[in-house]
Structure 1
Amino acid sequence: MRPRRWISAVVCVVASATVASCGAGGAANRTADGRTELTIATFNEFGYEELFKEYEAAHPDVKITQRKTGQGDPHHQNLFTKLGAGSGLADVEAVEEGYLSQVMARADQFNDLLEIGPRETTPDRWLKWKADAATTGNGRLIGYGTDIGPLAMCYRKDLFAQAGLPSDPEGVKALFATWGSYFAAGDRFVSKTPGIAWFDSAAQIFNAMHNQHDVGYFDKGDNLVVESNPDIRNDWNAVTSAVAKGQSAKLVAFSSEWNTGFKLGRFATKTCPSWMLGVIETQAGPENAGKWAVTDVFPNGGGNWGGSYLTVPKQSKNAGKAAELAAWLTAPEQQVKAFQARGTFPSQVDALENRALLEHVNTYFDNVKAGALFAAQVQKVKAAQHKGPADGQIQENVFGPALQSVEQGKRADDAWNAAVQEAKKIAG
């Protein structure tokens, strides 16, 4: 989810009085009425709120307590801090793909779900690349895949029409065919619509471009390649050039200003991994229903951005029941329901063929069959990008702020050099 992520998990959520009981060892946590308490923490939007109620109704001996963090980075920093401390984690912990490599490096602190989970929940239920990413070299499955983030493009039809650009999903495809055509359309747009930007954030565009490559900030040997991989610098140059031409709204993703930008129509396009649909609907609000559209084309062919996993740390006192809950939340039926609730796109093979998914209509986005649209986008993804150590940290804490500094007036070359040095410090 979320993020991504977006945009893209579960975390220990308990009242302050019971936080200490989240540690390893001892008897299972119990509520006052004798039920087993399963703590689960999520970030951004997973679409689980109604599913929790459904699970509790079917399992009256279980009480689910959720803690939901607004963004992924604080969630993961909390996760790694408590892993180091040896206590304080939830029964089920969420992990976003950008941070998965750091979890895999600590795989001995997580349960093997092939051992403690339901027998029928096997890796072949998922897209191969999704399950492979959470499988250790000796075959231990550390996480059940939740969503994935096949990429499409969202845009404001009314703002396109105002700028004299095509506004129907078929007509815009030529504008979004390549990054070159996308930025060229941006030049046309901003020349016709003073005060309205082409895109929301340089970092959001850069991240989408970056996720289309075979490797991220590290090569497959986990060596930092920020300086040696020309794709990274080429993406940087393209995005910062667009910023210089006034195409960016200069908003920080998931900030209050960014949220308001959706509501007030301060930008016309949005890179749209499937989970972003729920974010747009939430932030743009009912007054903008029907103004946003999504098209099944993405510059340079598509890709995947975001997606998460549900893990069960060895600290959990309720590991077996936690694995059952995680398996149920990630089963095809629940993945489809989560998509219908928040646009988090399924990663299980059977879910991708589910009629309810393929026939799902998103009324907010002009009644598009969003399930079928993103199912087609999935077929363009042949493998997950290799994410090395600290990949997510470099994206969130280095390149995001560096691009923001360019939006605030810093020279692009100076910001690039600073980002390279910061990435080297993090990579060690």
Structure 2
Amino acid sequence: MRQIRRRLACAAATVAVALTGACGPDTPEKMTLTLATFGQFGYDDLLPGYEFTHPGITVRLVRAEQGGPYHQDLLSKLEKGEQLADIQAVEEGHLADVLAHSDKFADLAKIGPADVKPGRWLEWKYEAGRSKDGKLVGYGTDIGPLAMCYRKDLLEAAGLPTDPGSVKTMFATWDSYFKAGDRYVKRSHGKAWFDSSAQTFNAMVNQLPVGYLDRDDHSTLETNAALKDAWDQVTGAVKQGQSAGLTAFAEDGNAGLRTGAFATKVCPSWMLGIIEQEAGIGNAGKWAITDTFPDGGGNWGGSYLTVPSSSPHQKEAAALAAWLTAPEQQLHAFRVSGNFPSQVDAFTSPDLLSEMNSYFGGALIGQVFAAQARKVGKPQYKGPGDGKIQETVIAPALRSVEQGADPAAVWQQVILGVHRVVP
């Protein structure tokens, strides 16, 4: 991502507060608000500005490096009824487990600033932050709209087209995508089309109206025909040699990016930074991205800011969470960390629409992902255990298929595995 000169934090904060109405009268007493996050949210140089415009408030940022341990700790504290931070960030993949404890979180629709309306966010992002009983548990931060990344040089070497129109045709549906994969494997003499069946399947599942669980939190695997069709498509592609059988975010997956072990990859917006970092400067310009994703739009990733009921400063915490998730602050977070905003007004910002990525051949990534975000439909319901199903049941099952196991037999094992997680 190109480097953009940062504004002075205080000036940026003052302007943003004026625009969002978040700034109120001076706080009569001193208080410290604890903000717990993981990874990079892009908030570090915003917080001093908030403190400047809100005398008496100090914000203490507690950031975990890895999201997995962070969420394990969060869920453990929820189960035990222990004290949480005034604001707790929650990643989309763990949101269902948090929503199952909605009684331990404030309703932001009631305690948040009155001028923060649902229309601030994309409708699907806002609705996904609501619990079954209608409580708004989280203000949306970023999202992960899905596009497709591909190696132009590898497609050219295999005699496949790389012009934008032809690429869009190849990636228009999952059927056309896997058919193109068959051609690539044959013409490249056995090279892989995509990196991981688990990554591909996860994206396909996220597109479905119903995922692993219904709204009563029961398994759908024995009745969800669309889910089984996705399994059959992915495992069929594996049997044709399309998967490199790599583990995303692990050393083998990173090595595969460096060596060109596969030609295409499911690309939520946050994936671009990972590809650039792991594929390295030697592959700059070889990667490209298209604003087409098989069978429409989809989302993978993104987070929310929640205010636990245990906070002694709920209204002040909600005001800070509202300010951090305003379009101005989320555009800043996009510039410094690459987290794509979920706020509607951000999508018309010249800063976002002009954002260009030289590593991906000068692609206007702001325009690409804004277009993809608008294609996402209603949020899929994800019940408690959804993330555990993906991580501990589905991913190992698909790995076994990549290692030669029979897909039909493994599917029966998947059904049993899911029933061990949920009724």
Q: Distance in 2 between matches of 1:281 and 1:209?
A: 24
Paired residue secondary structure (1:208): helix
**Structure 1 residues 342 and 200 mapped into 2: Cα distance closer, same or farther (>3 Å)?**
farther
- Residue of structure 1 aligned with 2:323, choices 311, 322, 328: 328
Paired residue secondary structure (2:416): helix
- Residue of structure 2 aligned with 1:217, choices 212, 225, 230: 212
1:97 match: 92
Unaligned runs of 5+ residues in structure 1 are 1-33
Contact 1:41–1:90 under 8 Å retained in 2? no
Amino acid aligned to 1:209: M
**Residue 267 of structure 2 corresponds to residue 272 of structure 1:** yes
Paired residue secondary structure (1:254): coil
**Residue 184 of structure 2 corresponds to residue 189 of structure 1:** yes
Amino acid aligned to 1:389: P
2:230 match: 235
Contact 2:33–2:317 under 8 Å retained in 1? no
Q: Distance in 2 between matches of 1:314 and 1:245?
A: 52
Contact 1:275–1:342 under 8 Å retained in 2? no
Contact 1:312–1:319 under 8 Å retained in 2? yes
- Residue of structure 2 aligned with 1:42, choices 38, 43, 46: 38
Contact 2:273–2:338 under 8 Å retained in 1? yes
Report the identity percentage.
Answer: 53
| Residue 143 of structure 1, CA deviation | 0.4
| Residue 57 of structure 1, CA deviation | 6.7
1:258 match: 253
Q: Distance in 2 between matches of 1:57 and 1:249?
A: 51
Contact 1:362–1:370 under 8 Å retained in 2? yes
Contact 1:169–1:293 under 8 Å retained in 2? no
**Structure 1 residues 137 and 413 mapped into 2: Cα distance closer, same or farther (>3 Å)?**
closer
**Residue 416 of structure 2 corresponds to residue 421 of structure 1:** yes
Amino acid aligned to 2:422: A
- Residue of structure 2 aligned with 1:395, choices 369, 373, 390: 390
Q: Distance in 2 between matches of 1:410 and 1:46?
A: 40
| Residue 326 of structure 1, CA deviation | 2.2
The superposition leaves residues 262-292 of structure 1 with CA deviations (integer Å, 9 ceiling, x where unpaired) of: 2222221111122222222232233322221
Describe how 1:13-162 pairs up with structure 2 within 5 A. Answer: 36=32, 38-43=34-39, 45-52=40-47, 55=50, 62-71=58-67, 73-87=68-82, 89-136=84-131, 139-162=134-157
Describe how 1:163-174 pairs up with structure 2 within 5 A. Answer: 163-174=158-169
**Bigger shift: 89-98 or 76-85?**
89-98
| Residue 364 of structure 1, CA deviation | 2.0
| Residue 236 of structure 1, CA deviation | 0.9
**Structure 1 residues 155 and 47 mapped into 2: Cα distance closer, same or farther (>3 Å)?**
farther
Q: Distance in 2 between matches of 1:53 and 1:264?
A: 42
1:3 match: none
| Residue 88 of structure 1, CA deviation | 5.1
Paired residue secondary structure (1:383): coil
Q: Distance in 1 between matches of 2:152 and 2:310?
A: 49
Amino acid aligned to 1:254: F
Paired residue secondary structure (2:252): helix
Paired residue secondary structure (2:231): helix
2:336 match: 341
| Residue 312 of structure 1, CA deviation | 1.6
Number of residue equivalences? 393
| Residue 136 of structure 1, CA deviation | 3.8
**Structure 1 residues 58 and 280 mapped into 2: Cα distance closer, same or farther (>3 Å)?**
farther
TM-align CA RMSD: 2.4
Amino acid aligned to 2:247: V
Q: Distance in 1 between matches of 2:344 and 2:101?
A: 28
TM-score by length of structure 2 reads 0.85
Q: Distance in 2 between matches of 1:411 and 1:267?
A: 23
Contact 1:111–1:312 under 8 Å retained in 2? yes
Q: Distance in 2 between matches of 1:405 and 1:57?
A: 55
Paired residue secondary structure (1:248): coil
Q: Distance in 1 between matches of 2:89 and 2:82?
A: 16
Paired residue secondary structure (2:170): coil
| Residue 56 of structure 1, CA deviation | 5.9
| Residue 158 of structure 1, CA deviation | 1.5
**Bigger shift: 289-298 or 59-68?**
59-68
Contact 1:56–1:64 under 8 Å retained in 2? no
Q: Distance in 1 between matches of 2:191 and 2:315?
A: 52
| Residue 420 of structure 1, CA deviation | 0.8
Contact 2:143–2:299 under 8 Å retained in 1? yes
Paired residue secondary structure (1:327): helix
**Structure 1 residues 162 and 387 mapped into 2: Cα distance closer, same or farther (>3 Å)?**
same
- Residue of structure 1 aligned with 2:195, choices 191, 197, 200: 200
Paired residue secondary structure (2:146): strand
Describe how 1:350-389 pairs up with structure 2 within 5 A. Answer: 350-389=345-384
